Structure 1
Amino acid sequence: MTEPIVVGVDGSGRSLRALVWAAHEAALRRCALHIIHVLPREHGYAGTLEDRVREESRRDQGVVAEATAIVQEAHPDLEVTSALPSGAPAAVLLAESERAHTVVLGAKGLGGFGSLLLGSVALQVVGHAASPVVIVNHVTTGHRRIVVGADGSAHSRAACVRLPAGVPARCRTASPACVECPTSESGSGSGSRCPSDREVER
């Protein structure tokens, strides 16, 4: 059975963009999408302050329900599961990465230059996940290439091997620091721009 794509959501705009990207990728790869909304540790749903806990429970369940509805409307045939585990978000997502095809998270999304920054959870997941991790800043359409940072190491080669679905089986290394991968059906790209291009087989 194909491992699911796991996406973390928290009800924010940045997690919505990650959700849209993850759902599209899951549909292309024909694998399940698993939506995770991590509850803070204080969400024990027990003890005193029952009214507050009940309100928070409804809100958290609403985040997952809305995310699921968005995906099912866009991809009605996609298998979608969800969970609301409690704990430290990074630890929960790292545990999920053990059985995930890919973990998808939104960027911090502060606007301007800040939108290029990663939150502490994303940084921990990127650095320690057992699966590939995708950080989504903006969802774009119409672009025909994917740019992959590369330094010639086995890890950077793996980045080309695990490119998103729909990318042809070859990508072109334009420089030691950048791999430009054509995403058109014909496989045409920007290879002619750089005479030192070399092809990397997936």
Structure 2
Amino acid sequence: MTLRKPLYALALFCAPALAFAHPGHADSGLAAGLIHPLAGLDHLLAMLAVGLWASQQQGTARWALPATFVLSLLAGGLLGFSGVGMPLLETGIAGSVLALGLLVALAVRPPLLLAGTVTALFALAHGLAHGLELPAQASPVGYAAGFVAATAALHAAGYALVRLLPQVAAPLVRLAGALAAGTGAWLLAA
């Protein structure tokens, strides 16, 4: 019973993406920013995986990994707004889905400095992609606020899902990580 509320909340969070599925709604920037992490499978899976992985950690890492991702995502977004690019950006993003999925599937608990560094690098790539895809006529501030809010919500959804599941459901979380890793491998091959 307690699992229903978070699932309903996640469904309601994702519903606006369906309502904005046609053009003309993203002119303010905020709506486009909110939709961007939800519309791309690579971004969606990576950001959910960060929340799943954070929930598998102990102590400070539980909040530090999502916070690091959000701050690095914003830094990458600002670089993207400035036109800074990165070679093989899409490959790096697909690789982040694979790696984060594997980290969840294997429930890896590295030292916080290593985990934070990996998280920051992946987030920087995602942020660059968001920043480079700023829609014409959109407010960069509104767009950044949107993709930061959507990212934080996806992290929270992944985290809450694991924290609310009974301990016996841990293999399902690992399976979700394996599925994300498989999707990341598929994205790399495509």
**TM-score, scaled relative to structure 1:** 0.27
| More helix as a share of residues | 2
Between structure 1 and structure 2, the one with the greater Rg is 1
Higher-RCO chain (CA-CA 8 Å, sequence separation at least 6): 2
**TM-score, scaled relative to structure 2:** 0.29
| More strand as a share of residues | 1
